[in-house]
Amino acid sequence: MSVLLSDEVRQALQSGGPVVALETAVLTKGLPHSTWGDEFGTRPSIVDSDTPINLAAAKAMALAVRTAGGIPAWVAVMNGSLRIGLSEQEIEELAMDETAEKVSLSTIASVLSQKKSAGTTVATTLQACTITKSICNHAIRVFATGGIGGVHRNWTSRLDISADLRALAETPTCVIASGAKSILDISATVEALETLGVPILGLETESFPCFVETKSENDPNIYCVASPDEVAKICHVHWNELGSTSAVLTTCQVPDDVALGRGTLEQVIEQTELFWASSGDVGATRTPALLDALARHTKGKSLVANLALLCNNASHAAEISVAMAN
């Protein structure tokens, strides 16, 4: 059996409980595996001095979900099984595993067959949200992440579009994210989502968030919703009344106190893109290379903001999940 659902998540799904899926590519490839170093400036309170940053993030996100009344369902590939619902010990094992890559739709089958471990992207986490339906008759309807993958910059010369977009087009789950990073072509990503029939909502925001950065007046306009209840109602109309089968993307701005000024990342992104393009590396390394460069270049400011938005999104996702359960 290569798909395993934890007892806690299974029971919650069967009783209509507020389950929130969480992806793990952010743990294996999106955040540093090291403890907080001086090069990152002041250490935020959710990271203690001897816990690796990726593991501290996982603990804080799970706590944010539970504090808001939800049940976290971490999704990952571990030793050749697709796992939905990990214990604290299993999360620790994955976060410490230096060999764990990230898997998307095109690579998950081969990683499973090689009996390896890997973090799941938005795309493969959405795949898991659907798979639970064949195990216990209920899909997972809410999923929190940092930022979605999308259409990369310079797509006219190199067509690099994340499989996240296809999965969003095909999976009826509400995804809570801080939009997409400025490492992507944001307006092309928003246009693609529209083509794919994915509604984009802004929880208390009318503009598509740009991940760790402050908003700008040029950001694409989106439909502003005031509360988790309103998100739950729109999801109900989208899936149950209209019979749509795409995701509902609900976006949240990064908390104000840690947001980075817009445009401050431009130079390092351009340089890293050039460096990465000349390295001849495979496509899946592009996002991790950019995230790592941003954290170092901003002396930890992008990392602090990333951690804050991950927890904020996890908390809002749990609120939406509770609203759907009621």
Q: How many residues bind Mn ion (CB under 5 A)?
A: 2
Cβ of residue 140: shortest distance to Mn ion, in angstroms?
24
Tokens of 70: 């939800």
Cβ of residue 317: shortest distance to ligand PSU, in angstroms?
15
Positions marked catalytic: 23, 181
The answer to whether 147 contacts ligand PSU (rule: CB under 6 A) is yes
Pairing relation of β-strands 81-84 and 71-78? antiparallel
C-beta of 70 vs 209, nearer to ligand PSU? 209
Q: What are phi and psi of 229, to 5 degrees?
A: -60, -40
User: CB-based burial of residue 98 (10 Å sphere; 0-12 exposed, 13-18 middle, 19+ buried)?
Assistant: exposed
CA separation for the pair 57, 307 (Å, rounded) = 6
Residue, CB closest to ligand PSU: 30
The answer to whether 284 contacts ligand PSU (rule: CB under 6 A) is yes
Q: What is the distance, to the nearest Å, from the Cα of residue 184 to the centroid of all Cα atoms in its chain?
A: 15
Tokens of 133: 């339906």
Grouping H, G, I as helix, E, B as strand and the rest as coil, residue 101 is: strand
Q: Which of 9, 12, 13, 25 binds ligand PSU (CB under 6 A)?
A: 25
Site map for ligand PSU, 179-218, x if CB under 6 A?
A: --x-----------------------------x-------
DSSP category for residue 97: -
The answer to whether 26 contacts ligand PSU (rule: CB under 6 A) is yes
The answer to whether 92 contacts Mn ion (rule: CB under 5 A) is no
Cβ of residue 164: shortest distance to ligand PSU, in angstroms?
5
CA–CA–CA angle 27, 182, 316 (5° rounding):
55
The answer to whether 263 contacts Mn ion (rule: CB under 5 A) is no
The answer to whether 283 contacts Mn ion (rule: CB under 5 A) is yes
Task: Indicate the length of the chain as a whole number.
Answer: 326
Q: How many helices (H) and strands (E) does the chain have?
A: 12, 11
* Contact footprint for ligand PSU (CB under 6 A): 23, 25-26, 30, 104, 121-122, 146-147, 149, 162-164, 181, 211, 284, 287, 291
* Contact footprint for Mn ion (CB under 5 A): 160, 283
